Structure 1
Amino acid sequence: IGPAYAKKYPENVLTLTMLSTAAFRTDSEKQKIYDLIHIMKTKGLDEVLPTLISRWYTDNFAKENPQFVANRIKMIQEMELETFCQVFWIYADCMMENWIHEIKIPTLVMTGENDLSCNPRINKMIVEAMPNARLEILRDLRHSITGEKPDLVAIKIRNFYEEVENAK
């Protein structure tokens, strides 16, 4: 949503921050997501929750923060299955690569080093496609960078905003 808004209304956006973002997926990567959606729809959400949790959180974080993970699971389980599946369709079919190069504003792209969902490879491709973007890969983290290290993410964003402001 953020990149689409920045593309359509660049006069309203000073900077853009993209966290664990998807684009430039291979057909194989897309198929894995479609397969996951199929499993959720045919066997139910509980069938895939352990896999999702292990993709989102490091083992240490999940072990040390069981209530945080339990709250996330509860939130997902309370969601309509179709709505949750739609999020994955968006992740699979995101076609920003066709227009992301049009975004000229300063952009910070950030992902976890071990994010299997929105991996560093695709985030590097996003940055390479954009004329004014920079990449931050957060060591040892998976997909949920804001869940595991919110302070680190906030510092990186604040520093980026300050750099942009100071460059004026």
Structure 2
Amino acid sequence: MKVSANGASIHYAVDGHGPWLTLAHPLGADLTVWDDLVPDLAARFRVLRYDSRGHGGSDVPRGPYTIKQLAADATALLSSLEIPRTHFVGISMGGAVAQQVALDAPERIASLALIDTTAGYDDADAKVFLERAAKAREQGMKALADGTLERWLGERFRKRHPEQAERIRALVAHARPEGFAASCEALAAFDVRTRLAEIDVPTLVLVGENDPSTPPAVARRLADGIADARLEIVPDAAHLSIVEQKQFVTNALATFLQGAASNV
């Protein structure tokens, strides 16, 4: 299904019944990255997944984008679907979007779950994102797929679950180069580290024990910046912990959301 939101056509899917729960995917992926978690979550919640601008079945306008723009897309999607308030779960880029929505439209957010993400990047990391943007535009996404897979999934998981690993590699390889590049530019400029204290909703921060992109030390600073945020380390997981440790993450989310459900 698609709706027009903030000047772009946004592709989305809805599953289940109950309080609204919105899931935002990482850079270079789409809403299918959540497939394994949806059945359990949809047993208790009405789960909204969507493809971020530049990804999946959504429009791919020319970049650069900004995280503020992507957050406005998410808020406009909620308005189009007449969703007044939602629990919001974001991983990696989706976690950046989740933080921005909580800052720009706090009345729409009942709780936050921020997975393998950060509140801002240092200059060296921002430079890497700009280099990836240039590579995507010049060489296409296949040139970035293997490196992304190595950061996202640990070597042991890739060897034990080759079909899952190939699904994720193919997801990145078939991503839209311009959408990926424009979103890299958004992440390079993203920084809300000085505003975290403004977030005033129940917040869970999850991070893979072996996440090389946003390691536990980064997640700890994120959790420390948000009042009463809870940090949980996902054991034996790299950056895409929702795939590598699906059951652990699902259980952690279910426990957290059950406590936060009274906010909707």
Q: TM-score range by the shorter chain?
A: 0.7 to 0.9
Taking a change above 3 Å as real, the CA distance of residues 89 and 118 of structure 1, as seen in their structure-2 partners, is: farther
Deviation at 1:49, TM superposition (A): 2.0
Please give the alpha-carbon distance, in whole angstroms, between the structure 1 residues aligned to 2:188 and 2:238. Answer: 18
Q: Secondary structure at the match of 2:114?
A: strand
Deviations 1:90-130 (A, max 9, x none): 33322121322200111001111211222222221111211
Q: TM-score, normalised by structure 2?
A: 0.57
Residue 25 (str. 1) matches residue 121 (str. 2): yes
Which structure is richer in relative contact order (CA contacts within 8 A, separation 6 or more)?
Answer: 1
- The SS at the match of 1:153 is helix
Partner SS, residue 128 of structure 1: helix
CA distance in 2, matches of 1:5, 1:65: 35
1:23 Cα deviation after fit: 2.2
Q: CA deviation at 1:76?
A: 2.4
Structure 1 unaligned segments of length 5 or more: list them: none
Structure 2 spans left out of the alignment, 5+ residues: 1-96
Counterparts of 1:136 and 1:30 in 2: how far apart (Å)? 26
Q: Where in structure 2 are the equivalents of 1:74-153 lying within 5 Å? A: 74-153=170-249
SS of aligned partner of 2:147: helix
Aligned equivalents of 2:149, 2:169: Cα separation in 1: 8
Equivalents in 2 of 1:50, 1:63: separation in Å?
14
Q: How does the TM-score come out when normalised to structure 1? A: 0.86
Shift of 1:38: 2.7
Q: 1:91 to 1:120 in 2, by over 3 A?
A: farther
Give 2:138's aligned residue: 42
Q: 1:164 Cα deviation (Å)?
A: 4.2
SS of aligned partner of 1:109: strand
**Which range moves more in the overlay, 124-133 or 83-92?**
83-92
Q: Give the alignment's Cα RMSD to 1 decimal.
A: 2.1
Q: C-alpha separation between the residues in 2 aligned to 1:36 and 1:164?
A: 37
Structure ranking higher in helix proportion:
1
Distance 1:115 1:48, change over 3 A: same
Contact map agreement 2:151 2:211 (CA 8 A) in 1: yes
1:118, 1:92 → 2: CA distance? 14
Quote the Cα distance in structure 1 between the aligned partners of 2:159 and 2:253: 27
Give the letter aligned to residue 144 of structure 2. V
Q: For 1:121 and 1:90, how far apart are their aligned partners in 2?
A: 23
The alignment covers a number of residue pairs equal to 166
Decide which structure has greater strand share: 2
Match of residue 155 from structure 1: 251
Q: In structure 1, how many angstroms separate the alpha carbons of the residues matched to 2:168 and 2:121? A: 26
Q: How far apart in 2 are the matches of 1:52 and 1:138?
A: 19
Q: Point out the more displaced range, 60-69 or 1-10.
A: 1-10
Deviations 1:9-52 (A, max 9, x none): 33333211111112232212222222233333333333332211
Q: How does 1:57-68 map to 2 (within 5 A)?
A: 57-68=153-164
Task: Tell me, in whole angstroms, the C-alpha distance in 1 between the residues paired with 2:154 and 2:122.
Answer: 25
